[in-house]
Amino acid sequence: MSSLFGAFVRPVGAAADVKELEYIAAIHQTGKLIDEGAFITAQDVSVFLRSKFGIKIQKEDAIDIVRGLSGSTRLPLPEEANNSEGKQEKNEEENEDNTSEAGEEKPNIKAGLGSGDDIELAYVDPAIEKNNNLEIDEKSDDDESDNDKSDDDEEQHYAEILQDVADVRRHWKFKRDIPKKKKEKIQDTQLLVKYDIVQLMTFLYIPTLLRLKHTRLNNSVPFASASFYGVQLCIDYLLPSKWVSLFVQWKENKYKKMKQELLPKPQTLIRDVLTILLRSLRDDGKLRNEVDVVSITDDDDVNAETCIPQLSQKITVSEHLVRSMLVRIGEKRSALDDELVSSMVEAAGGEGALLNELSFARALTADVEAWPLECEDNKTTSFYDVYGFTENECIKQRKKKTKEERKVVRDTGDDLEGAQNYENLPSRIPRYKNTLSYIDYAADTFQSTMFVIFLFTFYTISAIFLVFVLNDRVKDSDCNGDFLCLLGKTIIDWLIFAAVLIASGFIIILPISLGNNAHSLRILPSLFSIALLVVYIYLSDLALDTMTGNSLNMEQNYMMLLWTAMTVAACLTLFTLLKNLLATLTPDKLRKNMFLKQIMLSSNTLRTAKQKKAATNKINLMIENAYQLHLNAEKSLLDGANAEHQTILNFVVNGEKQVRCGGLIWTWKGLLKKTIFSDEGVWFHARLMIAQTMQVIVSVLIGIFWYEGTFALADKVEKDRLKAEEEGNKFALGLIPTRGAIVYPFMIGGIITLSFMLLLILVYVPTTAAMVLKFRSGVLPSLHDPYFKRFRKCPDAIYFNSGNMIYGLVGSSSLFFFIFAGLLFLVAWEPTRPAMIAVIGWGLGLTITVVLKMLITGCFRSRNHKGLYRTRPGAANLSSLALECWHLGLAGGVLLGRLTQFLLAMAFWIGRIDSVLLSDEVDMLGYRFDTVPHKFVTEILVHDAHRHPYIERMGAMYLMRYKYGENFSSDAGAAWRRIFISTLFPWVLKYKEHVEENIEDDQLLKKEEESAKRREAKAKLDVFRSSLFTKVEEHEEELHKMEEGQEYVAVFKKELLDLVDEHLKDVSEREAEEAQLVVLKDKLIAKVDEHLEDIHKAEDKAAVTAKLKTELMDKVDTHARTIGLRASF
């Protein structure tokens, strides 16, 4: 019974976390084929932002988002190989066409672009084209005097060429026999810029790393502050002030405790990951004592909290260390990038800085400090977290930004590009395209979910009511049995029915939904929706009055029932509209109150806040799962063993555990505790809630119809029996059933039917949650499943599900009623009672016999078989022969049993669209008989592609990169985060894109040698600068007394020249460097001469001398860059 409600064994642990990341990649991709490498391209990002937020970005922006967040901005863009190959083939074909078999030149037909986007064929004579090429060559070889040709001559020259072209085109008159090649769609390969799962995790963990940094190093976390203004305002006059203060204090403590639960564990994660990383480098022999290690203690310090021994060596930041880290995670190409390595060194504190928890945390997060960390606790949407306003306000904010930019340009005199970097101006604001979010049922971006439920209920009942009204007004045409007339009438009726439904949807749902816009809180749309709803209620009342006459028949009773249900739904819709209007009129101070926001905020905002919290909890759980594997590896690590290899082995052996979850009780318990939202992040879409509500309403209507219809039929039958008795018609009296033969079977069958209807209603929520979790945990394959693509083919067909759920319930209930009520009626009806008793007796006897055979078979099986082998072959053969002969007579019972099971299963599963009744193997000539459940699964995937907790965070990171550009997520920071992720999750390295096969170890050794030379040159240059500085200080006093000590000036200059000569011999003997240092000598002496007179005249001689020192140092640094002694400058 539990599996009926979706209960299953769910994998949990580090392996299941990886499966969920694969699932994210599968639903995020937008290509026709799924990239099993789990790559996400710039095109996927662009389509996602358009679908979820309604913002349209340029191709360059999408590429920048992918390259910026993944840290690959320094890599070259993919070459447009398709374009170049296509052009080359086209040129070859043209050259072949332009040369005849006799060697004669043929006219060249080229495609030229005219005005707009229209393509027109242009004829170009070969001689003219040759002349043009000669003229271009001559123009490139001539001197400047030839380039100064007058404008009139140039215009005349090109006019003559164009006239010749026009004459030839008129001669050919656009020949129709010229074959036109089909225009091929060339894919923009630059949009194929992509990132892998490792890079995905680097920006998914940005908020977590920031929170760890603030918690561990700053001893504080920026949480969203709770407002208790509304509480005090509401109860100050009801309770004593002391009670109020205690209540507020209790709520504040509860709020802080709840926020502390979101902190990642362990809080020493950054330090421990750094320890694991450095120990791996030490074990691989990558740490060099002369470069990286500055001191060594006696023994490793074992951390009692985490049981991970801390490294005894004190490590310093160096280019060699950074290159070793990059090589360790398989990024040899990055290790060869001098600029990237230098930036990473600077991000960690610079060359020679101590690499500890503080510097490592700074390297991981310094480039992403713009992320508003407190937004994870705010009940806001992802777009609001980044920009501080809703999507609909983008146009207004863009205009405001333009005005502010112009003001800065006017005030400061800077250009517009400089004004965009002005700190008081808003950053880049996207272009928003109105998506009609109030009717967006794919991403559920409307304001109130309850409003949508009530509105669709009102619409459905109104549509049924309208059909009754039209059916009462329209007279049936008499076709007199003509088939074509009946066929045409049926088609017309169904088309009219479709038009009525569509028109009523646009008339009812669309305008009333204007008051349910979560992105734009305005008063007029809400007032318009309220007024329109009131008008519809009044019109339905008028329609009901015109249909009711003096006497009410059964149809009119149901019309009254429909009108009552429609009025109730309209009132509930009106109530939600008033609540939305109240939220619009409420001041911001009250709307931010932690209690009132539950009422004032939209359901979209509240549910999105739960998804953000779920993302934090899921990532924290992912960290705990990975960290536990490292701890277990430490405990089981043998002497001399590699810790990283032990962790990977631990992942393979213990990376996955199984727990039982799902089912009716588990799901509803999670709903009541809200853990299914805050921990699992399951999104129950609005269409499911609408269909479930309509199922309840249909069940109530069917129950009323069943109850009223049963007794109405019983009364009619009783009247017919009395009439037959009065007439003495014994034949009719024998055929007409008694009142009990109608009431009892129908009542029992109706109760059974209603029970199954209740079961069908209860099954959808648990199975939806179970299906979501199955996909996320890998129980249902996604990325590597060849059949997963069928769910991505028709994402627009999800609108089938509401109607399928409602009519499926009606069909299933009808089958159950006919089966059970019909069988009971046949037993109670006198003409069929003897036959039914005989059938029941035969069936029970056969069933008892089959059960007896099963018991006997079980006894023989337990005695004669073990597994697939026989323990007593002789006895097993005899028993098998006897049972096989017996079964030849009972096989008909098995057939009847299967038929009964199939009928009952069909009656139940035909009402379920969440589960497949027929296997995928049940097909005929490629046609699958039951594809309705696929649309149900597709809708789950569509909503998860917009609302998965990881997707919510990814969307926020996309917006952050778009907003801040290069100021958010640098290549160096992303590289440090890749190192962090690859160290904590070494099993995800298999998902990295391997593009470095041609890089040899010799190249890395060469880079190491160059790095060592740069370090040596830097050290010598620092010694030179220090000695130069010291020399100025030695002569400072004599320089101040220049008149009394002129001889010191010459001595000072000579000693400066000696220092330069000594540095020249110490650094290099290359002629280029020697020449540069000769220039340095002259400039140093010139700078001294320039300042001698200033020193003599200045009252504050120390200030002028200090200026001299600074300028001398600048000259040294400038020439150091020139001669290449210090590439990191």
The 3-state secondary structure of 666-679 reads HHHHHHHHCHHHHC
Q: Higher-confidence residue: 84 or 464? A: 464
Q: Are 971 and 74 in contact (CB under 8 A)?
A: yes
Res 125: pLDDT: 40
- Res. 229: pLDDT tops 90: no
Tens digits of residue pLDDT in 310-345 = 666 678 888 888 988 998 888 888 888 888 988 999
Q: Are 352 and 194 in contact (CB under 8 A)?
A: no
Tens digits of per-residue pLDDT, 905-951?
A: 888 888 889 888 877 777 777 677 788 888 999 999 999 999 999 99
| Residue 174, pLDDT score | 40
- Alpha carbons 1022 and 1015: distance in angstroms, whole number: 10
pLDDT at 1089 over 60: no
pLDDT at 162 over 60: no
Question: For residue 1006, what is the enclosing H or E element?
Answer: helix 1001-1034
* Mean pLDDT for all residues in the chain: 75
Say what the pLDDT of residue 975 is.
Answer: 93
Top-confidence residue, 641 or 1037: 641
Cβ neighbors of 137 (< 8 A, separation 6 or more) are none
- CA angle, residues 467, 473, 477, in degrees to nearest 5: 100
What pLDDT is recorded for position 47?
92
Instruction: Give the model's confidence band at 1124: pLDDT under 50 very low, under 70 low, under 90 confident, else very high.
Output: very low
pLDDT at 1022: 63
Number of neighbours of residue 1043 by Cβ within 10 angstroms: 6
Q: How does pLDDT run across 444-478, given as a tens digit for each residue?
A: 888 888 899 999 988 888 877 777 666 655 555 66
Average pLDDT over residues 645-667: 87
Most confident stretch, 777-781, 1031-1035, 1100-1104: 777-781
DSSP track, 399-465: HHHHHHHHHHHHHH---HHHHHT-TTS----PEE----GGG-TTTT-SS-HHHHHHHHHHHHHHHHH
Q: What is the mean pLDDT of residues 432-444?
A: 85
Residue pair 976/203 in contact by the 8 Å Cβ criterion? no
- pLDDT of 1045 strictly over 50: no
Closest CA to 363 of 372, 376, 352, 350: 350
**Would the pLDDT of 95 be above 60?**
no
Provide the pLDDT for residue 587: 62
Helices and strands, number each (H, E), in the chain: 45, 16
pLDDT in tens, 109-127: 333 333 333 333 333 344 3
Cα 959 to Cα 68, 374, 385, 962: the distances in Å are 12, 17, 10, 5
Give the pLDDT mean for 204-219.
85
Average pLDDT for residues 128-142, to the nearest whole number?
Answer: 40
pLDDT digits (tens, 9 = 90+) for 851-900: 898 899 999 999 998 888 989 999 999 999 998 898 888 888 888 888 88
Q: Would you give the DSSP letter of residue 223?
A: P
pLDDT, average across residues 565-583: 85
pLDDT greater than 80 at residue 690: yes
pLDDT class of 1072 with cuts at 50, 70, 90 = very low
CA distance 681 to 678: 6
pLDDT higher than 50, residue 636: yes
Write the pLDDT tens digit of every residue in 732-788.
888 888 888 899 999 999 999 999 999 999 999 999 999 999 999 999 999 888 888
Per-residue pLDDT at 556 exceeds 60: yes
User: What three-state secondary structure class fits 252?
Assistant: helix
* pLDDT at site 107: 40
pLDDT digits (tens, 9 = 90+) for 347-396: 998 888 888 888 999 999 999 999 988 887 778 888 888 888 777 676 66
| H-only helix segments in 220-294 | 229-235, 241-260, 269-283
Q: What is the per-residue pLDDT for 96?
A: 44
* For residue 23, pLDDT beyond 90: yes
pLDDT 10s digits, 984-1010? 999 998 888 765 556 666 666 776 677
How far is residue 920 from each of residues 617, 799, 926, 1031, measured CA to CA in Å?
37, 23, 10, 88
Contact 562, 468 (CB under 8 A): yes
At residue 596, the pLDDT reads 60
Segment among 23-27, 564-568, 638-642 with least mean pLDDT: 638-642
Residue type for 426, please?
A: P
Each residue of 660-683: pLDDT tens digit?
A: 998 889 999 999 988 899 899 999
Q: What are phi and psi of 730, to 5 degrees?
A: -70, -30
Query: Lowest-confidence range among 128-142, 853-867, 1107-1121?
Result: 128-142
b/e burial code for range 84-117 (CB count within 10 A of at least 16 → b): eeeeeeeeeeeeeeeeeeeeeeebbbeeeeeeee
Question: Quick count: other Cβ atoms within 10 Å of Cβ 528?
Answer: 15
Q: How far apart are CA 785 and CA 326, in angstroms?
A: 33
Residue 353 · residue 359 · CB < 8 Å: yes
The whole-number average pLDDT for the span 632-640 is 69
Average pLDDT (978-984) is 94
Q: At which residue do the structure tokens 């019983």 appear? A: 714
Tally of CB atoms within 10 A around 342: 20
Q: Is the pLDDT of residue 903 over 60?
A: yes
pLDDT confidence of 625, banded at 50, 70, 90?
very high
Query: What's residue 87's pLDDT?
Result: 46
Q: How confident is the model at residue 240 (pLDDT cuts 50, 70, 90)?
A: low
Strand pairing of 431-432 and 55-56?
Answer: antiparallel
Give residue 421's Cα distance to chain centre.
30
Considering the chain, what percentage of its residues have pLDDT values greater than 70?
65
